[in-house]
Amino acid sequence: MAYDGKILRRALKRRRAQRDHWEETQMQRRQTIYQNVPRLQEIDQLLRQTMFQVMKEVLSTGGNPTESMNAIRLKNRALQEEQRQLLQRHGYPVDALDDVPACKYCNDTGYCGATPCTCLKELYTQEQIKELSKLLQLGEQSFDAFSLEVYDSQKWPGKGISPRENMELIYEICLGYARKFEKYYFNNLFLSGGTGLGKTFLSACIAKEVSEKGFSVVYDTATQILAQFETQKFSKDFEEGQAAGEEVKRYLHCDLLIVDDLGSELTTPFVQSALYTLINSRLDGTHHTVISSNLSLQELKNRYSAPIYSRVAGEYRTLLFFGDDVRMQTGKLQK
């Protein structure tokens, strides 16, 4: 599973803020207990001082520290027992003064070894959905909210089935693709058809479902994606070029890339080259891509180079949307 560095940095920042808040909360709790039971603060201070006292005595006398250590150990045990009884007597748990991490698995670091902890993964998912929500209305767009009733139930000329029957099949494929993301029959989808038929809506449903499983998802328009490739290549501003380079890395390495509205961009030789690089580099068996476009496969073939057409036609499952523009009729696709 790949992690989007941009999103991961934001999740780590939140994890550190949570750790700082937890530590502050524990300190305030400790101060409250000390105010209510002053003797507990005295015991705590004594326990902290004992080891220093032993070392001081050994260094000053040059003697054997064993007897002093045994005496200190007995004294500490007595103090710890008194502390335990005082806490219980005043209704506190016996570990109320201990520094306990909020996450017992990673000790609030966010990592278990080199692997992100579940606490960090949860924040990562939240930040990713927040990022996607800048472009998509993820609160409204979900498979459960998708309505087939807005599609015509009459057979469509030249198709043999109705738009509604066609959308039932497309819906089931998109649902299976999202819910069985790593184990589905194919990695890539090409959503082809006119405007207002549900391509962007179903793309958003896929993005939300896959994001909630913890996979890295990047959603952007073809125009914006290819503009970042161009900025990375030709910008004379170092920081601008570097920022574009980071975005390009996200496009190339995320678990799922959703490219919206392919065909709306200005097609130049560089754009053709960048688009081929993007599509081809993601055909490695581990990366998944969903492309939506108003173009048919034939129109795609006419507009782009043969290698681009070959990759999409051969490596993507094409889902053809047809029918009347339901968005114009209803203003929405959800129930």
pLDDT value, residue 33: 92
pLDDT value, residue 176: 95
- Whether the predicted model's global pTM rises above the 0.95 cut: no
Euclidean distance between CA atoms 166 and 205, whole angstroms: 18
**Residue 125: C-alpha distances to residues 86, 128, 129, 210, 248 (Å):** 43, 5, 6, 10, 21
* DSSP one-letter code for 334: B
User: How wide is the angle at C-alpha 332 spanned by C-alphas 224 and 326, nearest 5°?
Assistant: 90
Euclidean distance between CA atoms 248 and 227, whole angstroms: 10
What are the boundaries of each domain within the chain? 5-111, 135-330
Level-2 CATH architecture, domain 135-330: 3-Layer(aba) Sandwich (3.40)
Strands 288-293 and 317-321: unpaired
Exposure string over 236-271, b if 16+ CB within 10 A, otherwise e:
eeeeeeeebbebbebbbbbbbbbbbbbbebeeeeeb
**Residue 43: C-alpha distances to residues 39, 72, 83, 209 (Å):** 6, 14, 7, 53
Euclidean distance between CA atoms 224 and 260, whole angstroms: 10
The residue among 330, 321, 269, 326 whose CA lies nearest residue 292 is: 321
Per the CB < 8 A criterion, the answer to whether 242 and 276 are in contact is: no
Those residues whose C-beta lies under 8 Å from the C-beta of residue 258, and which sit 6 or more positions away, are: 203, 206, 207, 217, 218, 219, 220, 289, 290, 291, 292
pLDDT value, residue 292: 95
**What residue ranges of the chain have pLDDT lower than 70?**
1, 51-65, 67-68, 134-141, 327-335
DSSP line for 35-53: HH-HHHHHHHHHHHHHHHH
